[in-house]
Structure formats: C-alpha cells, structure tokens
A and B are shown apart, each in its own frame.
Chain A
Amino acid sequence: MSALKLIETVRNEFLAELEDVGEDLNQIENFRSTYLGRKGKVASLFSLMGKASNEDRPALGNSLNELKTDLTTLFENKVAEVNSSKQKAQDDSIDLSLPSKQQRLGSIHILEQTLSEIKEIYQSIGFHVAYGPEVDDDYHNFTALNIPEHHPARDMQDTFFIDPETVLRTHTSNVQVHLMEEQDPPLRYIVPGRVYRNEAIGYKSYCLFHQVEGIYINERASFGELKGCLEFFVKQMFGPKKNMRFRPSYFPFTEPSAEVDIWDEERKQWMEILGCGMVDPAVLENVGYDPSRFHGYAFGMGVERIAMLKYKINDIRHFYSGDVRFLEQFV
C-alpha cells in the first residue's frame, strides 16, 4: 500500500470513529491517544518518512502535516461540542421557576406624575414654573383678583381663615398676583400648588387639592390663542382625538371666562376639566399693569380631576389615604 493511501485510510478511520465517540471523558482520552497520542496512529505514520524516496519525501511530509492539523482541529471541535452540551445539561438543572431574589420598587405618587406631565406640556410651549405661599393674605387671594369682600363670588370658594385677613389660599392665583407685582410683562407662567377649600369631604371633594394655574400677559393675547394653548394641552394629555368644548362661564378674575369640558365616552357625557379666560382688566390694574396696553389669558385646573379622568379613579380620597394598594398601581 502506498504511503498516501495509508494516510487516507487513517483519516477515514478517524472520521468514522469520531462519530461514535460518546461524552465519556475516558473514551475521549482513549480516542485521542489512539490517533493523536505520542504512539498513536498519526505519529506512527511519520515513520514512513524514513522509507520514502527523496523526491517523494516533501509531498509526503506535507500530507502528514496536513493530516495532523486536520485531525487535531476536528478533535478539538469535538471536545468543545461535548463540553458545551454538558454545560447546557447543567444549566437546565437550575429551577428558575423559583421566585427572584427580592427587589422592591417604590413609586412616585400619581398626582406627582400627573403634575410632571402637565408641567412638561406647558414648558414645551414656553411656560415657566413658579411657586408661592399656601397661607396668604386676603388681598392676594381675593381682592387683587377682583373678588371684593361683599361679592357673591366669594361663595364660589369656601375658605379656611387663619384670622379675618389671612386665609389658606383657595387657588394658586395668589402666586400670579405676586408674580405680576414683582415683574413687568411679558410673562408666561404656570403655578402648581396645594390649595384648600372648606368643603365637606366626600368621593368628589376633599378639604384640599392641587391646582395648576397658568398666566400669559403680553401686548397682544387673544381668546383664540388661549383656545390654541388649551387644545394643545388637552390633546397632549388625553390624546389627539379627544373631543373638547369651551363653554362660557364666570370667574371674577377673567373675562370672557370659559369652562373646558372633555367628552367621556364611557359615561356619554361632558366632563369639566378646567376654567380659563382673558385676564380681567381690573386684575391688571390692581397689579399696576396698564390694561389699555396689556392683555393676557389665564387658566386653572385641578391635578386630581385630571388624574381621575385619565385613570378612571372614582374617589378623590384615594389620593390622600397613603394606601399602598392604591399607590402601587401607579409604579
């Protein structure tokens, strides 16, 4: 048999046997030493080199080296394959149906989340955010806003008094007055904050709630712009297809005044979500702005109301209960 034939035979035997080598480590080691060991079949083939003629020797050497490289590679692949299938078997023995190691997530209150959303929407159209005191004097909460002392409009907001001239603010409009006293127009702000109403507590009303009021004052400002601004808000907050309407209403600090309703498809009725209007000239005058030169619009909304409408929360008291069964629904 020629040397080259012998090489081919060893190669074929190797390939045939490689198929049958199992995953047993001893078996694998035996197989390795049979072919690739120091006294293995490949090594013994190298003895043929001595018997080969001078002209055949280089080709034979090449063939032998080729055989050795090939078989070594094939064997290593086989070993890797065996190892990986063993690893897999081991992985499968881990019971990942057991519960995880505990990680507790807390939550940011849904009113805070709703407020953040409101802030982002208005900030995206140039509004700044300002804050102010919850306890204020009668002037900033009422009189400056065109609600004189003996006016039926005072009945619209049941008030907690600290003393006859000091109140828990009934809206965050008091901050608008402070802002206008401190700054010259133009200005464009929203004012979030906690406000208080002396009302019986029930599923619809609580003794306090959170408001976001907005104000824009400039040399030109129109009811059309107010509508544009609030439509932008409603569509951002409730989706671009939300139906809404502006309904004339009355607030002492705006004129014309409107209430905005959105359509509730489930209840088949209009739900009020905010009040707005053009800043009343009397308010501008009270803070020292010239009403013949400046115009403005203002709006106010309850954060609770918006969250209730958006998430179908049926009882305002949930917000203040601190009940984790409520809180963790809004992680």
Chain B
Amino acid sequence: MIISLDWLKEFVDIDESPDQLSDLLSGIGLEAEATSVPTEIPGVIIGKVETAEKHPNADKLKLCTVNDGKQVHQVVCGAPNVDAGQTIAFATVGSILPGKLKIKKANIRGVESSGMICSERELNLSDEHEGIMVLPDNLEPGDDFVSSYGYKYTSVELDITPNRPDAFSHQGVARDIACKTKRYFKQISAEPISEKGNESINISMEDHQDCPRYIGGIVKNVKVGPSPDWLVERLKAVGQRSINNIVDISNYVLMEMGHPTHIFDHDSLKNKSIYIRRAEKGETLTTLDDQKHKLDKRHLLITDGSEPLALAGVMGGANTAVSDHTTKVLVESAYFDMVTIRKSAKSLSMSTDASKRYERGADPNGCETAFWRVIGLLEDIANGELCSEMIDIYPSPIKKEKVNLKRKELDLVLGISIEDAAVDTIFKGLGIHSEKKEEGWECEIPTYRPDISREIDLIEEVARIYGFDEIPADESLYGSFRYTHPDPEKYLDDIRKTLAGCGFHQIYANSLQNENEATLTGYSPVEMMNPLNVEMGYLRTSLLPGLLKAADHNFKHSIQDLRLFELGHVHIQKDKGFENIFEKKYISGVVYGNYRNHSVHSPSSEEDLFTLKGYLNSLFVQKLGMRLDLIKGDSAAFDHSRVVEINRQKVGVMGRISKIWIDSMDLDLDTVFGFEVDLEPLKQMINKKRKFKTINPYPKITRDLNLVMPIEQEVGVLLELFTRKGKKLVTNVKPVDIFLDEDAIGKGMKSVTFSISFQDSSKTLEDKDVNPVIDEIIHVAEKNFLAKLRT
C-alpha cells in the first residue's frame, strides 16, 4: 500500500526523506520503498494562465501566456483542458523534469514557446496525462512547485506482511514510527455526534461467529458531488481516484485508520432492515464492479431481510450503491470473522481493500471510531445530518487479551538483556498496557493487534522495535554432535566429478513436463491439479526427455558435439493416492556428435555405443570399483538397448535413443546415445570400505593368441572365461584385433587376436609356468566355443 508522508504528518512528526523513512520502516518490519514521486523538481514553479487562445497554425494546440509572478511567458500547450485563469505547475526554461527531461526554448509551429505547463505524469505524481494538472487557486505564482504543493504527493510504498492488519493504514504506520523514534503519536479521536431525527433500522445476524459486531446509522440530506481538493489530493497521493464525496469518505477513512466501512443508498433498500447471513446455494449478487456472482454457503451476505445487498467484508452490491441522486444513506461499520471473509473472497477470486483487511483481522473496537469518523465527514463535506442513533449490535464484546512476558524467556530467546525501561517504552508506544510483575510483565493487548496472543509475540514486538541490528551476534557454538552420516548424498560427488572429468556437463532440467514427455517411459506420471500450463502438467518419470531437449537446444545453436548428464528425481504414480507416489533418484546422460574431432593430429571419431560404454566403465568400474555388464533387453527409450547391470543387479538401461522418442519430441537431433541408471540400489554398494592391496613387484609377461571362431560368438564371454581359467596368473585379457577373410579363415568365421597378460605374486614367470595355462585356455575355447587356434 502507498503511504503519503504528508498524511502521516497528521499523526507523527516526519523529518525523514522518503528514502530515509523507507529504511526506518524496513528496520521495524514494514518493508518499504520510496515511490518515484520526486522530492524536488528544480525550476518547476507555480504559474497562472492569463490567456489561452487557439494556436495560429495548429488546431489542437493552444497559445497561452503564463504569469510566474514576475514576468509573463508565451507557452504553447497541447492539453485540451488548459484555460485562462488556471493555477498550474509551470516548468520554466532550464528546469529538469523527472526522467531527466530538460526544458528548452522551442519553436512550435512557427511560434516561440518558453516553458511547459505540466501534467501529473510529467511530474511523476501519477499516470494522469489526459490534460495538465490544475492546482488550487490559493497558491502563489513564482513559488517552488514541490515545496508549496507537490510535497503532498511524496510517498513510500509498503509491503505489509499478513500478520500486521494494523499497519494497513496511515495511523497504524505512524504508531510504529512514533514508537521507534520515541516521537509523540497523535491518535484519531472521533467524537460522537448527536442525531437530528429519530429514524431507526433493525439490524440482526444469523450467526455472531461470522459477524460479531455491526454498527449502522442513517444520514439524511446528503448532497452527492465532487470531493473538496484536500480529499482528492489525499486519495491521489495514495494512488486512488476520487469518485464522489460519499464514496471518497469511506475510502479516506479506510486509508486513514484501516477500518473498512460501507455506505448504502438508503432509498434503494426494499426492506428497511439489515440481516447478515450466509448465502443460499444458487443465490446471486451483482457487485459494484458489475460482476454477477453465483453464491453458496461460503459467502456471507448483508441482506435487507430477503434480498442480498452486499458481499459482507468484500464489496457492496450494485443495486444499493450511492448514485448522483442519493440523498439518504445507511452507514455500515462492522467487524467480520477473518476466516469467513477469506473463504468468501478467495472462492470468488476477489481481493479488495476491505477484504484484505478483514481477512488479516480488523479491529472490532475500531468500528465505533470509524463510524463516527464517517458520520463527521458526511456532515462536514456532504451536508449530511445523522438522523438515527448509532445502532450497535455487539452481543459479546471482544475484550483485550492479557499476555504475560517473563524476563527470563525474553533474555533467553533474544540472547541479550534489554533493560526494563526500554521494554516499558516499547509497550507504551505500541499501545500495549503493561504492568511490571515479579517475573516480568503482564500486558493488555489492544484489539487492533490480533497477531499478539502469546509470550513469543511480545518478544517479537520488543525485538522488532529495539532493532535487530542492536542485538549482538553470538559467535559461540553450543550443543552436541551426532555421529551419524553427516551427508547421506556425499557419494554423488564422486559420480558428478567423474562424469565432468569425462567431458559431461551437468544440467538441471525442469521436472515439470507435458503429458507426452512424462509418459514416454510407459510409467504413470504424477499429475497436477492446477498446472501452470499444459506443457508442465506432470512430474517427469525419466530424466532423458529433459536431457534430450537440452541436447536439441544446443544442437540448434550449432553445438556439434556434446555430453550432458543430470542427477535428479523422477516420480512414478504406481497407483492412486499419495502413498503410491514413488520418488527415485536417477543418473542419466546423453552424448551426440564427435567423440574426437578431426585435427592435424588425428582424424575424427564419433560417439557411439562403445564410447558410451567407456563412460559407464570409467564411472562404475574404474571410479566406483563395481562390476558392469550390459545385457540384451528391450527398452522403450532405446534402439540397440542394453540393460545395465551393476554387480549383477539390473539398475538401468543404455543404448541409442529410439526414433520413436526423437520423433515424438520433434527433435532436430538424429543420433543420440544415452543411459539412465537408478541410484537407489547403488547406494549400498558404494559405501563399501576400501582396503589397500600389496603392490606386486614381479614383472608382467604378455602372450598373443589367435583364435578362429564363429562370427556370432560374443567375445566378452571368452575374455571372462580366460581370466577364470587363468589359474590366478592371468591379470588381463584384451582382444586387440578382429580379422574377417573367407578365403583365409573360412565362411562365417572370424579370427580374434587376444593379448593375455600374466603375473605371479611370488616370482618372475617363465615359459614353463605360462605355457600350460595357454594350453588350458585353448582347450577350453575349442571345447566350449567351437574355436580353433589359428596357425
């Protein structure tokens, strides 16, 4: 909400600039920022328009003479509302307007113009730019504009937290300022006015929970018309347009003391009575903004006994609104239940100045002051006469709560001992009546502070006003330590670092996906009731779509080669209900383009299933010391798909991303390889302890072996068999060449050269040690795999 500095000054002295005041307010929990209304505009002064004639060469322009108190200037003005006799804000030649616009002498359509007559927008006072700003006539030409008039618009904007309904007004903000700065606070007092007439109206309510208090009063002989300048200026300064004097009065009191009131056109009430009740399902009401609402039990209504008149605490009805013909009004000043108003407004997606205050908690005992304030203004500026008593239905008055504050608790929570006198002053400044007791204070909380009901609430008030900056930081460490695992996800660091070392960039993709992306895996995704848009209606069931979209984004930006990974959560809705939502942690990656680019050193080489296998090998085998197997198996995501087995447990899949996925996501990329692994089963395996193994000092010897075998024979099986049959001497077997030649080795056959390393832990190996092992290997290969030694 916008708070006018000039208005605040009715309640407390303000010496601060808007910026200083913002700092002060932010420091006591009322987050504030100075508005863009200027505090000085050098060169802009008060002027009088002496003449305003048509421009000789332009239909839409006027040629004016402006008197600045000393001399008369010729000025061309384009505003339709400029007229002789007006007092205006005059920007003289050389003045600098907000936005750094410098006013210069100009020739406009053949006529010299020296200066400018300003609109409100040009002075940054409001967005108004339909015409020039017309000022009150009592201003002295030649005086500085801001210091003689513009100051009324200086303001700060507050962001009020939901716990502070009392700060939703000038009076409330002033109270906090006065308390902080120890200045005098002048509270609003509205004296009761004696009625001139004996009219009455019957007021009752269905449920006192919903409406604990309702005050009504009738005012006759009101004259609806424009508001006086001071009222228009006040409202304008807080960003509100003047409507008419009656509506403005209600808005003014709202901004002044924070209590909503409503003024009905008395003659439009069919029954001259007020009954507050819940709406029936199917009832309708058209509100002041011409919106027709379908209502039900959630909505609280002001009715005349049968017909709805207003949506209680939210907005008045169109039928009973004050119009130009209104002469008699019913003034409402009520207190409604917070939750009732919140539910009502929320269900209609409405948020009004009134509802904002009621749903945070208005002051039940502020009803009376607000009522008399409205009545007083109706008499003062709308010619009204109160013709009924103040009818106050308040069956169980809400009393001030008593809350105790213990000195011990105050010191303990804040970590500092604030002296008694300072605490007393703070309570007094906030309107809290406190009495010093042996253990601390007994406090009586004013009803405008519904947020204070517990000891901790009082501690907060003391700390807030005392100043958080005044509480010293305690740099000691207290407490005990626990000997559990300090970070259960520490193991992920190894995974991230290894992949980054392999050239992968980690991404963070959106977990929210559209239905197509979220269902590609075939799993049932978690669906949102209120998605932001259709593209983000579901939680992801795989990290691959996000990775593919990121890969495609980069590809479209001419990134030819890329490796990406993500480590994140997926969610699967196995069955209906919260308890059937499963969260899993996955590690997934994609690669495309070249593994190595063409250069002066070597030709290019592409990413493929084997580079992908290499990355998995680096991560799981080399880094994490696990066993990795790739087993044939189907997966929706991949062509050439393989199941990734770690330590003989199925944990994921890898392969070339399927055409179906690429087409359904409409990607430009064509060939992408990827993997996805569930980290849950890996967690236990990773935490295994490492142990040092003695370094073998004996030399290795290597033998090559050529075996011919059927083409379809997988080589991996042989590698494993050789190691197993190696009598603990074989430390490594690798295929170094595969050779196909029908003439030399036969149709359907391949020749594979194996390089086999031998090493013993107790001696240097010789031929006589190795030869029997080679013979055994050849024997097994011939027997089990139809292999033959190539000669």
By a CB distance below 8 angstroms, the chain A residues around B539 are 135, 168
**Complex Cα spacing A199 to B489, Å:** 29
Distance between A178 CB and nearest chain B CB, rounded to angstroms: 13
Distance between B26 CB and nearest chain A CB, rounded to angstroms: 5
Q: Is the CB of A155 within 8 A of B463?
A: no
Q: Is the CB of B459 within 8 A of A256?
A: yes
Q: Is the CB of A109 within 8 A of B508?
A: yes
Q: Is the CB of B412 within 8 A of A245?
A: no
By a CB distance below 8 angstroms, the chain B residues around A250 are 29, 161-164
**Complex Cα spacing A191 to B547, Å:** 26
Q: Is the CB of B474 within 8 A of A222?
A: yes
Q: Is the CB of A249 within 8 A of B29?
A: yes
Nearest-neighbor residue (CB-CB) of B499 within chain A:
A106
Q: A198 within 8 Å of B by Cβ? A: yes
By a CB distance below 8 angstroms, the chain B residues around A295 are 412-413
By a CB distance below 8 angstroms, the chain A residues around B532 are 160, 198-201, 207
Distance between B469 CB and nearest chain A CB, rounded to angstroms: 6
Distance between B525 CB and nearest chain A CB, rounded to angstroms: 11
By a CB distance below 8 angstroms, the chain A residues around B487 are 119, 123, 128-129
Q: Is the CB of B504 within 8 A of A106?
A: yes
Q: B512 within 8 Å of A by Cβ? A: yes
Could you give, for residues 317-346 of chain B, a 1 whenever the CB lies within 8 Å of some chain A CB and a 0 otherwise?
000000000000000000000010011000
Pick the contact of A207: B163, B479, B504, B536 (CB < 8 A). B536
Task: Evaluate whether A135 and B571 lie within 8 angstroms (CB atoms) in the complex, with A106-B505, A152-B359, A225-B474 already known.
Answer: yes
Task: Evaluate whether A223 and B413 lie within 8 angstroms (CB atoms) in the complex, with A101-B599, A255-B457 already known.
Answer: yes
Distance between A93 CB and nearest chain B CB, rounded to angstroms: 15
Task: Evaluate whether A321 and B412 lie within 8 angstroms (CB atoms) in the complex, with A102-B596, A150-B339 already known.
Answer: no
Q: Is the CB of A321 within 8 A of B550?
A: yes
Residues facing B in A304-328 (CB within 8 A) are 319-325, 327-328
A16-24, A59-67, A82-90, A226-234: which lies at the interface: A226-234
Distance between A228 CB and nearest chain B CB, rounded to angstroms: 4
Task: Evaluate whether A225 and B478 lie within 8 angstroms (CB atoms) in the complex, with A106-B505, A152-B359 already known.
Answer: yes
Q: Is the CB of A322 within 8 A of B564?
A: yes
By a CB distance below 8 angstroms, the chain B residues around A258 are 468
Task: Evaluate whether A108 and B583 lie within 8 angstroms (CB atoms) in the complex, with A125-B477, A201-B532 already known.
Answer: no
Nearest-neighbor residue (CB-CB) of B339 within chain A:
A150
Q: Is the CB of A137 within 8 A of B578?
A: yes
Could you give, for residues 229-258 of chain A, a 1 whenever the CB lies within 8 Å of some chain B CB and a 0 otherwise?
001100000000000011111100001111
A-B contact count (CB 8 A): 249
By a CB distance below 8 angstroms, the chain A residues around B599 are 99, 101-102
Could you give, for residues 139-182 of chain A, a 1 whenever the CB lies within 8 Å of some chain B CB and a 0 otherwise?
00000000000111101100011111110100000000000000
Q: Is the CB of B414 within 8 A of A224?
A: yes
Q: A186 within 8 Å of B by Cβ? A: yes
By a CB distance below 8 angstroms, the chain B residues around A328 are 505
By a CB distance below 8 angstroms, the chain B residues around A131 are 488-489
Distance between A32 CB and nearest chain B CB, rounded to angstroms: 39
Q: Is the CB of B342 within 8 A of A150?
A: yes
B interface residue count range (under 10 / 10 to 19 / 20 to 34 / 35 or more):
35 or more
**Complex Cα spacing A227 to B759, Å:** 63
Q: B711 within 8 Å of A by Cβ? A: no
Distance between A74 CB and nearest chain B CB, rounded to angstroms: 41
By a CB distance below 8 angstroms, the chain A residues around B457 are 255
The interface size of chain A toward B, counting residues with CB under 8 Å, comes to 87
Nearest-neighbor residue (CB-CB) of A150 within chain B:
B339
By a CB distance below 8 angstroms, the chain B residues around A259 are 31
Distance between B460 CB and nearest chain A CB, rounded to angstroms: 4
Distance between B715 CB and nearest chain A CB, rounded to angstroms: 29
Could you give, for residues 99-130 of chain A, a 1 whenever the CB lies within 8 Å of some chain B CB and a 0 otherwise?
10110111111011000100100010110111
Task: Evaluate whether A126 and B479 lie within 8 angstroms (CB atoms) in the complex, with A223-B415, A248-B29, A324-B505 already known.
Answer: yes
**Complex Cα spacing A295 to B459, Å:** 13
Residues facing A in B504-541 (CB within 8 A) are 504-512, 526-532, 536, 539
**Complex Cα spacing A160 to B532, Å:** 8
Pick the contact of B412: A111, A129, A222 (CB < 8 A). A222
Q: B475 within 8 Å of A by Cβ? A: yes
**Complex Cα spacing A109 to B567, Å:** 10
Q: B557 within 8 Å of A by Cβ? A: yes
Q: B554 within 8 Å of A by Cβ? A: yes
Nearest-neighbor residue (CB-CB) of B487 within chain A:
A129
**Complex Cα spacing A116 to B557, Å:** 30
Q: Is the CB of B415 within 8 A of A225?
A: yes
Task: Evaluate whether A324 and B559 lie within 8 angstroms (CB atoms) in the complex, with A104-B503, A161-B529 already known.
Answer: yes
Q: Is the CB of A105 within 8 A of B501?
A: yes
Q: A218 within 8 Å of B by Cβ? A: yes
Distance between A294 CB and nearest chain B CB, rounded to angstroms: 11
Q: B472 within 8 Å of A by Cβ? A: yes
Q: B28 within 8 Å of A by Cβ? A: yes
Could you give, for residues 557-572 of chain B, a 1 whenever the CB lies within 8 Å of some chain A CB and a 0 otherwise?
1010011110011010
Q: A133 within 8 Å of B by Cβ? A: yes
**Complex Cα spacing A328 to B473, Å:** 39
Distance between A158 CB and nearest chain B CB, rounded to angstroms: 9
Distance between B500 CB and nearest chain A CB, rounded to angstroms: 4
Distance between A130 CB and nearest chain B CB, rounded to angstroms: 8
Pick the contact of B481: A126, A130, A232, A249 (CB < 8 A). A126
Q: B640 within 8 Å of A by Cβ? A: no
Could you give, for residues 576-616 of chain B, a 1 whenever the CB lies within 8 Å of some chain A CB and a 0 otherwise?
00100101000000000000110111100000000000000
Q: Is the CB of B29 within 8 A of A224?
A: no
By a CB distance below 8 angstroms, the chain A residues around B581 are 135, 162, 166
**Complex Cα spacing A325 to B553, Å:** 11
Q: A220 within 8 Å of B by Cβ? A: yes
**Complex Cα spacing A111 to B563, Å:** 18
6 shortest interchain CB distances as A-B pairs? A322-B550, A224-B415, A222-B415, A248-B29, A250-B161, A104-B503
12 extra interface residue pairs, beta carbon distance < 8 Å, beyond A104-B563, A249-B29, A322-B551: A131-B488, A160-B532, A162-B581, A198-B530, A224-B472, A225-B478, A247-B29, A281-B456, A320-B508, A322-B507, A322-B509, A322-B549
9 contacts between A and B (CB under 8 A): A107-B500, A109-B507, A153-B162, A164-B529, A187-B482, A196-B512, A221-B478, A224-B473, A320-B509
